[in-house]
Amino acid sequence: MSDSYVTPDGRTIGGKVLEMRNITLRFGGVVAISDISFDIREGEIRAIIGPNGAGKSSMLNVINGFYHPQEGEILFHGEVRKPMKPYQIAKQGIARTFQNIALFKGMSTLDNIMTGRFNHMKTNFFAQMIWKGPAAREEAENREIVEKVIDFLEIQAIRKTPVGALPYGLQKRVELGRALAAQPKLLLLDEPMAGMNVEEKEDMSRFILDVNDEFGTTIALIEHDMGVVMDISDRVVVMDYGKKIGDGTPDEVRNNQAVIDAYLGVDHG
Amino acid sequence: MYDQFLYGIEAAINGLMTGVMYSLVALGFVLIFKASGIFNYAQGVMALFGALTLVGIQSGQVPFAGIINAVFGTNIQHFGWTLPAVAAIILTIGVMILFAWLVERYLLKHLVNQEPIILFMATIGLAYFMEGVGDLMWGAEIKKIDLPIPQGINETIDAVTYDWFGYGFYIDNLDITAAIIAVTLVVALTIFSQYSTTGRALRAVADDHQAALSVGISLRKIWVIVWGIAGFIALVAGVMWGAKSGVQFSLSLITLKALPVLMLGGFTSIPGAIIGGMIIGVGEKVFEFVVSSSWFGDAMGFTMNATENWFAYVLALIFLVFRPQGLFGEKIIERV
Low-confidence ranges of chain B (pLDDT < 50): none
Specify whether the CB–CB gap between B296 and B303 falls below 8 A.
yes
Which residues from A are below 8 Å from B215, CB to CB?
90, 95, 115-116, 118-119, 178, 182
Residue from B193, B215, B225, B330 whose CB has the most chain A CBs within 10 Å, to mutate: B215
Q: Is residue A80 very low, low, confident or very high in pLDDT (cuts 50, 70, 90)?
A: very high
Specify whether the CB–CB gap between B154 and B176 falls below 8 A.
yes
Beta strand pairing call for A243-248 and A235-240: antiparallel
State the average pLDDT for chain A.
Answer: 90
Q: Does B160 touch chain A (CB under 8 A)?
A: no
* CA A134 from centroid of its chain's CA atoms: 32
Q: What is the pLDDT of residue B336?
A: 59
Which residues from A are below 8 Å from B207, CB to CB?
103-107
Chain A, nearest residue to B226 by Cα: A125
Specify whether the CB–CB gap between B22 and B253 falls below 8 A.
no
B274 found inside a domain: yes
Q: Is residue A155 very low, low, confident or very high in pLDDT (cuts 50, 70, 90)?
A: very high
Chain B, nearest residue to A175 by Cα: B211
DSSP string, B191-221: HHHHHSHHHHHHHHHHH-HHHHHHTT--HHH
Q: What is the pLDDT of residue B89?
A: 94
Q: What is the pLDDT of residue B332?
A: 63
Q: What is the pLDDT of residue A1?
A: 46
B314 found inside a domain: yes
Chain A, nearest residue to B205 by Cα: A104
For residue A50, give the H/E element and its range: none
Q: Which of A85, A98, A106 sits opposite B207 (nearest CB)?
A: A106
Judged against a pLDDT cut of 60, whether residue A222 lies above it is answered with: yes
Write the DSSP symbol of residue B6: H
Q: Nearest-CA neighbor of B56 among B307, B244, B238, B266?
A: B238
pLDDT digits (tens, 9 = 90+) for A186-202: 999 999 988 888 898 99
Q: Which of B192, B217, B225 sits opposite A118 (nearest CB)?
A: B217
Q: What is the pLDDT of residue A4?
A: 77
When divided into structural domains, chain B yields a total of: 1
Q: How far, in Å, are B30, B174, B270, B277, B280 from residue B27 at the CA level?
A: 5, 20, 6, 9, 14
Which domain does B289 fall in, by range?
2-145+173-322
Specify whether the CB–CB gap between A86 and B213 falls below 8 A.
yes
B152 found inside a domain: no
Which residues from A are below 8 Å from B213, CB to CB?
66, 85-87, 90
B93 found inside a domain: yes
pLDDT digits (tens, 9 = 90+) for A159-171: 999 999 999 989 9
Backbone φ, ψ for residue A240 (5° rounding) = -150, 130
Chain A, nearest residue to B194 by Cα: A111
Residue from B198, B202, B214 whose CB has the most chain A CBs within 10 Å, to mutate: B214
B89 to chain A, minimum CA–CA distance in Å?
A: 17
Residue from A109, A118, A142 whose CB has the most chain B CBs within 10 Å, to mutate: A118
Give the list of residues 6+ apart from residue A109 with CB closer than 8 angstroms, or none.
Answer: A150, A155, A158, A159, A160, A161, A163, A166, A174, A177
A255 to chain B, minimum CA–CA distance in Å?
A: 36
B151 found inside a domain: no
| CB-defined contacts A:B, below 8 A | 87
B 208-247 residues inside an 8 A Cβ radius of A = 208, 210-219, 225
Check CB contact under 8 Å for A102 and B214.
Answer: yes
> How is chain A split into domains, by residue range?
5-264
The CA distance from B329 to B226, in Å, is 20
* CA-CA-CA-CA torsion sign (A230, A236, A240, A242): negative
Beta pairing partners, A218: A186
Check CB contact under 8 Å for B197 and A86.
Answer: no
B165 found inside a domain: no
Higher pLDDT, B303 or A157: A157
* CA-CA-CA-CA torsion sign (A149, A150, A155, A159): positive
Collapsing DSSP to helix, strand or coil, A218 comes out as strand
> What is the value of pTM for the model shown?
0.85
Collapsing DSSP to helix, strand or coil, B98 comes out as helix
Specify whether the CB–CB gap between A37 and A48 falls below 8 A.
no
B166 found inside a domain: no
CATH class of A5-264: alpha beta
Task: State the average pLDDT over residues A36-49.
Answer: 94
The CA distance from A92 to B216, in Å, is 9
* CA B42 from centroid of its chain's CA atoms: 11
Write the DSSP symbol of residue B143: B
Which residues from B are below 8 Å from A115, CB to CB?
200-201, 204, 212, 215, 217
